[in-house]
Amino acid sequence: MPVFESVFESTVERKPALRPVASAAAPGRGLLPVVPALRGVLPEGGLRRGAAVSVAGGDAGLLLALAAGVRETDGGWAAAVGLPDLGLAAAAGYGLDLRRLLVADDPGPHWAEVVSVLAGAVELIMLRPDGPVPPNLAARLAAVLRRSGCVLLVAGPWPGAGLRLGVRSGRWFGLGDGHGQLTGRQVEVVAEGRGSAVRGRTARLWLPDAHGAVRTVEETVGAGTADGVGEEAVAGSGAGLDRMAAV
């Protein structure tokens, strides 16, 4: 199995024994918190512990925004698996604590084993599998998540995901007539799934705003807001986010 990258190694040196998170069934521990701007679009106002969530298109901004709430927990540990292009500066901008972020950039075909190990040590895992996920493998990992209480955020489709989120439209701000710097992105986030999420919910958000954070779009946009650069051609790629916060 490939060795975890330096962020993982240095974190393990600082914290040799990671304490497993509480079970998803523990009283008062049913939901992992999210940043305030996302609470209205999620059916339960947070992420169900022990569950897998699919982020359509693998949008990097939405993935990081959903993960940022882990900082509000007692442990606050998260992991990124199979996401070598994930900007650490962008993660910090959204509010993730890089000192409590474990990174396995290229686990290759061993990604499922890496997820199984990390699920017992962190509260949230961001994952991009190296290909289509067989339903039987997803079912085995679902059992691991239920036992550990870890939340799995998947960049792309996931068999049996109870909640699916995606960016339906987006608009970048900051570029003028062939020049300038990207300062923010407005998007419409859609959430749908099973149970309480079956009807679907939407919200318009800054993802991110000029400070790299996520917040709701006010009804009246300030006069100083820069002109938009049009609907995103690749709303799910997250490429603009990487350009804004490259490391």
Q: Is 135 helix (H, G, I), strand (E, B) or coil?
A: helix
Say if 161 falls within a structural domain. Answer: no
Q: Is residue 234 part of a domain?
A: yes
The answer for residues whose C-beta is within 8 angstroms of residue 165's C-beta and 6 or more apart is 41, 53, 54, 55, 56, 62, 66, 189, 190, 191, 192
H/E run at residue 119 = helix 111-119
Q: Which of 104, 123, 155 is the C-terminal boundary of a domain?
A: 155
- Of the candidates 184, 186, 191, 168, the residue with the CA atom closest to the CA atom of residue 54: 191
Question: Is the residue at 160 inside a domain?
Answer: no
* Residue 240 in this model has a pLDDT that exceeds 70: no
The mean pLDDT value of the chain amounts to: 78
Question: Which positions ≥6 away from 9 have C-beta within 8 Å?
Answer: 3
- Out of 155, 190, 206, pick the residue that ends a domain: 155
Is residue 79 within 8 A of residue 102, CB to CB? The reply is: yes
Q: How far is CA 206 from CA 23, 93, 155, 173, 218, in A?
A: 33, 13, 20, 10, 9
Shared-domain flag, residues 133 and 86: yes
Residue 173, amino acid: F
On whether the pTM is more than 0.85, the answer is: no
Count structural domains, the chain: 2
Rounded CA-CA distance 165/169 in Å is 13
Average pLDDT over residues 3-24: 39
49, pLDDT greater than 70? yes
Residues 220, 122: one domain?
no
**Residues 65 and 137 occupy one common structural domain:** yes
Q: Quick one: which of 56, 64, 66 has its CA closest to 36?
A: 66
Residues 64 and 28 in one domain: yes
**Within a domain: residue 87?**
yes
Predicted pLDDT of residue 18: 45
Asked if residue 174 lies in contact with residue 244, where contact means CB atoms within 8 angstroms, the answer is no
As given in the structure block, the two tokens for residue 107 are 């686990």
pLDDT tens string 51-101: 999 999 889 999 999 999 999 888 789 999 999 999 899 899 899 999 999
220 belongs to a structural domain: yes
Any domain includes 48? yes
For residues 112 and 231, membership in a common domain is answered with: no
Do 124 and 75 fall into the same domain? yes
Is the domain of 125 the same as that of 221? no
Helix-strand-coil split of the chain, %, nearest 5: 30, 25, 45
8 or 170: which leads in pLDDT: 170
43, 134: one domain: yes
Classify residue 134: in a domain, yes or no. Answer: yes
pLDDT category of residue 178 using cuts at 50, 70 and 90: low
141 and 68 fall within a common domain: yes
**How far is CA 151 from each of CA 91, 97, 196, 210, rounded to the nearest angstrom?**
17, 17, 18, 28
Domain edge (last residue) among 108, 128, 155? 155
> Is 131 found in the same domain as 16?
yes
- The phi and psi torsions of 99 (rounded to 5 degrees) equal -70, -15
- The answer to whether the beta carbons of residues 101 and 123 sit under 8 Å apart is no
Q: Is residue 1 part of a domain?
A: no
- pLDDT for 164 beyond 50: yes
Pairing mode, if any, of strands 180-193 and 163-175?
A: antiparallel
Q: Is there a single domain that holds both residue 185 and residue 133? A: no
Domain of residue 175, residue span:
166-244
The continuous run of DSSP H or E covering 242 comes out as helix 239-244
- CATH for 46: 3.40.50.300
Report which listed range, 1-5, 154-158, 173-177, is most confident.
154-158
Same domain, 52 and 140: yes
Q: What is the pLDDT of residue 106?
A: 93
| pLDDT higher at 150 or 57 | 150
pLDDT surpasses 90 at 109: yes
